[in-house]
């Protein structure tokens, strides 16, 4: 379950570069708009922090998974949105500013949410609780990789708009190539995981991933959230920060249980694939008129 150098070093570096590029396509007014109309953010937070853990608990409890696997699933449900969710949002033409805002907020709240849900899961599936704490440095890494480079890009765009516009197309091409490389690399490097745990954990991980994407899209649409914002929420809620959960599960100072890292490892692989398929589907239907939100 140890991360290779390509993933542990190369992936964050490439994500930083891409997030910088995404920031070049944004303006400060995009973030002001999100904050002045906070309904989408509030709905996203409720979906991420309340609805998903409830759904995940029902799935794990009904499936009769081993305790360690069940705890790993609950940790996954409690985790914030992954940094790659913003990249997928950009490729699907969603609201990137909303995605960055939600990632920042859920990452900050994870300091409280992850330990609470971890201890709840330990009581439910093991019959005992342990002192689980999320280190500030782990949350800070999310900001360094996702939020800070994007905001630097926004500042560059505000001062040098022509330069930022020239870089927009190359960055999008780089992002698509990056996603394809990550999916291929993940399949190859995690093939042992797929072969060993595919039948046991794979089904519930796929179901939970699809339900996360569905909750992230359809719940906001029920509240008449606009289509680009619903796309951003679907990606942010459907693509969890699996790396953070793996760190919590493997750390000797926290849970120290390698079996608990299996669900997030499998989820990380599944989410890259389903997210890529969703981006492809959404881009193909861009020419089709979007139906108004129900209600």
Evaluate the CA torsion angle 33, 18, 4, 252 in order and state its sign: negative
When computed from its CA atoms, the radius of gyration of the chain, rounded to whole angstroms, is 18
Question: In the prediction, which pLDDT does 36 show?
Answer: 78
How much is the pLDDT for 1? 47
Q: What is the pLDDT along the chain (295 residues), one digit of tens a residue?
A: 444 444 555 556 666 776 676 667 666 776 777 777 788 889 999 999 899 999 999 998 888 878 888 888 998 888 887 777 888 888 888 888 888 888 778 877 777 787 788 888 888 887 765 556 556 665 666 667 667 777 787 788 778 778 777 776 676 667 666 656 655 665 565 566 556 656 667 788 889 999 999 999 999 999 989 999 999 999 989 888 777 777 777 666 566 677 777 888 788 778 888 888 888 888 877 654 445 555 4
Q: Which residues pair with 152 in a beta bridge?
A: none
Residue 35: count of CB within 10 angstroms of its CB: 10
**pLDDT in the model for residue 142:** 62
CB contact at 8 A, 128 and 114: no
C-alpha–C-alpha distance, residues 74 and 239, integer Å: 15
pLDDT at 3: 46
Residue 75's pLDDT is what? 87
Q: What is the pTM of this model?
A: 0.72
């Amino acid at each position: 379950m140890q991360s290779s150098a390509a993933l542990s070093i190369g992936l964050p570096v490439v994500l930083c570069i891409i997030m910088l590029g995404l920031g070049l396509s944004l303006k400060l007014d995009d973030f002001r708009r999100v904050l002045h109309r906070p309904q989408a953010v509030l709905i996203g937070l409720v979906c991420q922090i309340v609805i998903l853990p409830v759904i995940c608990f029902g799935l794990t409890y009904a499936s009769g998974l081993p305790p360690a696997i069940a705890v790993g699933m609950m940790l996954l449900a409690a985790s914030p949105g992954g940094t790659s969710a913003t990249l997928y949002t950009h490729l699907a033409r969603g609201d990137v500013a909303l995605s960055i805002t939600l990632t920042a907020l859920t990452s900050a709240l994870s300091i409280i949410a992850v330990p609470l849900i971890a201890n709840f899961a330990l009581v439910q599936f093991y019959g005992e609780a342990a002192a689980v704490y999320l280190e500030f440095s782990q949350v800070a890494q999310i900001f360094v990789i996702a939020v800070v480079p994007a905001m630097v890009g926004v500042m560059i765009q505000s001062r040098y708009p022509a330069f930022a516009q020239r870089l927009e197309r190359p960055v999008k091409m780089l992002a698509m190539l990056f996603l394809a490389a990550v999916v291929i690399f993940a399949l190859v490097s995690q093939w042992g995981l797929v072969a060993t745990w595919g039948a046991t954990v794979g089904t519930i991980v796929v179901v939970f991933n699809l339900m996360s994407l569905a909750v992230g899209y359809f719940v906001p649409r029920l509240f008449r959230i606009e289509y680009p914002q619903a796309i951003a929420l679907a990606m942010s809620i459907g693509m969890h920060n699996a790396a953070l959960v793996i760190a919590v599960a493997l750390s000797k100072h926290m849970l120290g249980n390698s079996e608990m890292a299996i669900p997030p490892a499998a989820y990380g692989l599944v989410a890259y694939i389903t997210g890529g398929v969703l981006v492809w589907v959404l881009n193909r239907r861009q020419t089709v008129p979007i139906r108004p939100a129900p209600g």
